[in-house]
Amino acid sequence: MTLHHNLIAGEWVGSNGVENINPSNTNEIVGLYATASADDAKTAIAAAKAAFPAWSRSGILERHAILKKTADEILARKEELGNLLAREEGKTLPEAIGETIRSAQIFDFFAGEALRLAGEVLPSVRPNIGVEITREPIGVIGIITPWNFPIAIPAWKIAPALCHGNTIVFKPAELVPGCSWAIVDILHRAGLPKGVLNLVMGKGSVVGQAMLDSPDLAGITFTGSTGTGKRVAAASIEHNRKFQLEMGGKNPMVVLDDADLTVAVEAAANSGFFSTGQRCTASSRLIVTEGIHDRFVAALTEKLKTLVVDDALKAGTHIGPVVDERQLATDTDYIAIGKKEGAKLAFGGETIERENPGFYLQPTLFTEATNQMRISREEIFGPVASVIRVKDYEEALSVANDTPFGLSAGIATTSLKHATHFKRNSEAGMVTAGVDFHVPFGGRKASSFGSREQGKYAAEFFTVVKTAYTLA
């Protein structure tokens, strides 16, 4: 089997390959991927540092051409790359192809942004003095990405970093090296100079730690667990570097008595259980008012009965496998916790077998949950959601905001008054029915720290503002 190497200083290097296992069929090895050492990470950082002066002053047409060529190739290969994503992460094939298309759109957006880099020219309060405000790249960026969106999240970090003239050391999640390797390969062949983008696949405790310990990283952008995010923050403060954290969520979806029941059920099923519930924006707390509660629970339960859990590549599959054995154990542990806490298991909760060995779990719905239960406070990151019964809109809003997290929130209602009030008073970074690629992404409280990702707002992290005065 071909060994996929790390990319350091423009050269494909490495050995000690690790098998990438398909969670839909654990008998299948998706690929063999090299493991970087701490010394490899240090070499990659040095290469990125050496490449920064030239790349930071590169022409906007050069950046545009590379990003545009990358977008075009990803889009042209969407079925192939989507198949790879589905096999290594477990998303259904339609979801995987959709994520691949989104990554192409992100590169295309930032290809355009490269041609729109701008500053300001302002008059001074003093005579005969001009003021120029510009944005400059900050230096070497460390990028650390999770396993749940293995092509989209790397795209929305790598594309703006390159667009704004930074160089990169990129460490993807160990579970999903395939999509990351493919993106780096495409960018490399698109014409990136040596050292501008470096790929170091491997263990977080080794490669990630070497990145955290380096004084030569000007910034780290991280998406992953809250615990690791705190370590990134502490290490970054030590080195006085910029850091950007996207972490957990325990997102509420409020369903009011006046909601369209069909719409509410479809939204809850999609958000809570599709992508196997393995997304930080999943609506895992369903906060439902009394008048519609029983009808909503009955309809959602019937909906869950129709969802097919099977191999991610099979036509007709709605929910693929959990990503690996460890995450499956976490999910089943939380299901046991929910039962012990007194929540009612309304549907699912069992591991299941399919034609091939894999990590399959029924979508799981708890009812009669309270907002104080662990299953309502802690992120499970699986196809598990809890219904919390409330009296009215005011209690629903209070319960929705009563969480240490603040990533996303949603509401199902036909009342413009309540929808408008919820948008303004929800303590979340996004009040959402989706996540578009050209608008800011990020949360509040323990969900996020630092400036927003995606769209024009990405410039806040990947650049530093300079103010220059000129005496006429």
Q: Cβ(442)–Cβ(448) under 8 Å?
A: yes
- Quick one: DSSP state of residue 26? E
Mean pLDDT for 307-330 is 98
Tell me how far apart the alpha carbons of residues 339 and 356 are, in angstroms, rounded to a whole number: 29
Active-site option among 280, 350, 368, 453: 280
Residue 247: pLDDT band with limits 50, 70, 90: very high
Q: Which of 383, 49, 3 is nearest to 214 (CA)?
A: 49
Q: Is 0.85 topped by the overall pTM? A: yes
Indicate if the pLDDT at residue 472 is higher than 90.
no
pLDDT for 165 equals 98
Beta-bridge mates of residue 405: 445
pLDDT for 434 equals 73
Q: How far is CA 109 from the centre of its chain?
A: 18
Q: Which of 208, 100, 113, 190 is nearest to 154 (CA)?
A: 100
Q: Do you know the residue count of the chain? A: 472
Share of residues in the chain with pLDDT > 90 (%): 98
Indicate if the pLDDT at residue 205 is higher than 90.
yes
Indicate if the pLDDT at residue 444 is higher than 90.
yes
Q: For the sheet containing 129-137, what is the strand order?
A: 120-123, 129-137, 463-471
Mean pLDDT for 184-204 is 98
Tell me how far apart the alpha carbons of residues 34 and 250 are, in angstroms, rounded to a whole number: 35
pLDDT digits (tens, 9 = 90+) for 44-102: 999 999 999 999 999 999 999 999 999 999 999 999 999 999 999 999 999 999 999 99
Ordered DSSP codes for 361-384:
E--EEEEEE-TTSHHHHS---SSE
**Residue 53 half-sphere exposure toward CB, CA atoms < 13 A:** 2
Residue 319: pLDDT band with limits 50, 70, 90: very high
Where are any strands of DSSP class E within 215-296?
219-223, 242-246, 251-255, 283-289
Beta-bridge mates of residue 325: none
Q: Cβ(24)–Cβ(313) under 8 Å?
A: yes
pLDDT for 362 equals 98
Q: Cβ(320)–Cβ(90) under 8 Å?
A: yes
Q: Cβ(179)–Cβ(187) under 8 Å?
A: no
In this structure, which amino acid lies at residue 463? T
Mean pLDDT for 191-197 is 98
In this structure, which amino acid lies at residue 425? N
Tell me how far apart the alpha carbons of residues 384 and 357 are, in angstroms, rounded to a whole number: 21
Residue environment code for 88-126, b if the CB has 16+ CB neighbours within 10 A, otherwise e: bbbbbbebbbebbbbbbbbbbbbbebbeeeeeeeeeeee
Dig out the tokens for 7 from the structure.
Answer: 């990319």
Place of tokens 């608008």: 439
Where are any strands of DSSP class E within 251-296?
251-255, 283-289
Active site residue 266: no
Active site residue 325: no
Indicate if the pLDDT at residue 36 is higher than 90.
yes
Active-site option among 99, 113, 246, 379: 246
Mean pLDDT for 420-439 is 92
Tell me how far apart the alpha carbons of residues 9 and 284 are, in angstroms, rounded to a whole number: 43
Residue 253: pLDDT band with limits 50, 70, 90: very high
